[in-house]
Amino acid sequence: MEQIVILDFGSQYTQVIARRIRECKVYCLIKPFNTPASEIAAMEPKGIILSGGPASVYAPNAPKPDPGIFNLKVPMLGICYGLQLLAESLGGKVEPGTRREYGKGTLRIQDAESPLFQSLEKEIQVWNSHGDKMTQLPAGFKTVAVTDNSDYAAVEDRQRGFYGLQFHPEVAHTPRGQQILSNFVHKICGCSDSWTMQAYRQMAIEQIRAQVGKEHVILGLSGGVDSSVAAVLLHEAIGDQLTCIFVNNGLLRANEGDSVRDLFCRNFKIKLHYEDATDIFLSRLAGVTEPEKKRMIIGNTFIEVFEEAQKKVGNAKFLAQGTLYPDVIESVPIAGNPASMIKSHHNVGGLPEKMKFELVEPFRCLFKDEVRELGKELGLSREVVWRQPFPGPGLAVRILGEITRDRLEILRNADSVVVEEMKRSEWYYKIWQSFAVLLPVRSVGVMGDERTYDYTIALRAVESRDGMTADWVKLPYDLLERISNRIINEVKGVNRVCLDISSKPPATIEWE
């Protein structure tokens, strides 16, 4: 399979580069900056991209790649720190800039024949983020574009296939950056448009069959996007060798259990074991108000219930999980970069460590948006593919204070109104998350001619790319009015609705 290798030097945008390359319908992998050249050569990449990073190439402990990568005779693109690294490694010179160049700039293309800039205007907007600058080109290189603050904003050694950009083409603030990256992977590296979800679907099915053979697989089905798409893909690959286990912890949204059984049992004909553990979960949560203790009880109980359910469905050698690519990317810590860390892949409830399964992880190389595309390819509905994230502990993190059946019923009914109105207005599919929170606050109200003393619902709606940061959404007033009126009129026990207008940080998306 054709692929591009991205070497990560600690940039906060490395994953964004990968997403942009995938959007060019070209497969790519992120590898640590110090990956041996021999390992990269064995992958037979069509091209290599050197990411940005927080370090200075002339610093004593600056991250450097295996020098052998410059002899692999494959096209190479350096971005920001990657450009400076390319220059410094090949005989050029990089020094501290007289002033930091940060934010928008205008790139003036001086060589329209450069394959990087084909189909682009002579001047384009770009986004910079650097303090150092190249002051001397390596032998064989020439300048192909400049900015007001850089005579070497884009350079190339076309004969050897080396290219460098001082700006960031991967970010949205460089509107034509996608075309630049497309030119690199298609025109320079010669990649075809082979990375599609249709092609991946067939490849994944073959890999699953080869790994599983005639053994049985179980999958913890939550009804969320990742587990739902995984269930349909695995069933297409191995049929009745797959059994899904759906645990109802009593903390689900209204009619969630019935909806999951309707979709997977009746529609897709997938074997599904339904375990109703509502009484167990709620009895253990009785009287508990501390958020972290709630989470621990729910997590530990889930493992216990899942173990018992697994015994009922029979022996299985494999456990399937919806682990995504961002969860398995390894980043080598780089001094001075707070974003650098080892990203360990997250297991569902810690099940594999406790239950001795071999793992089937068909999405280990996919981003979330690619899983959604695969879901559409597999025939899943819009409601499933574009479902908003729902927390593992369920409504427990949206009820502040003690979890009771009465409070759950109030929140379920309020939540149903929010989801229904958000979908009706199409806002549900435009934002990251929208939901109701039940506050342990009761206030006086008047309904009809009677005095009430009921609970308060907080409405939370946020926009985000990955859940790491988020901003509250300015929903239309008429939509907010409909939601508020319906909750107060239709949900017994609520007489007040408030809007949460805090961002993350300093607040979190969920309330607990």
Q: What is the pLDDT of residues 184-230, one digit of tens each?
A: 999 999 999 999 999 999 999 999 999 999 999 999 998 889 999 99
Q: At what angle do helices 405-424 and 477-490 cross, to 10 degrees?
A: 150
Residue 187 is classified by DSSP as I
Active site residue 353: no
Q: What is the pLDDT of residue 104?
A: 84
Q: Verify whether residue 191 is a known catalytic residue.
A: no
Q: Out of 2, 101, 156, 170, which one is annotated catalytic?
A: 170
Q: How confident is the model at residue 26 (pLDDT cuts 50, 70, 90)?
A: very high
- Catalytic residue of the set 101, 130, 168, 373: 168
Say whether 273 is catalytic.
Answer: no
Nearest residue to 128 (alpha-carbon basis) of 146, 151, 105, 108: 105
pTM of the model: 0.81
What structural domains does the chain harbor?
3-188 (3.40.50.880), 197-385 (3.40.50.620), 395-499 (3.30.300.10)
3-state class of 189 per DSSP? coil
Given the residues 24, 28, 80, 189, the one annotated as active site: 80
Interval 125-138 mean pLDDT? 82
Type of residue at 44: E
Asked if 217 and 316 touch (Cβ cutoff 8 Å), the reply is yes
Instruction: Order the strands of the 358-360 sheet from edge to edge.
Output: 271-276, 242-248, 217-220, 318-320, 358-360
Return the pLDDT at 337.
Answer: 44
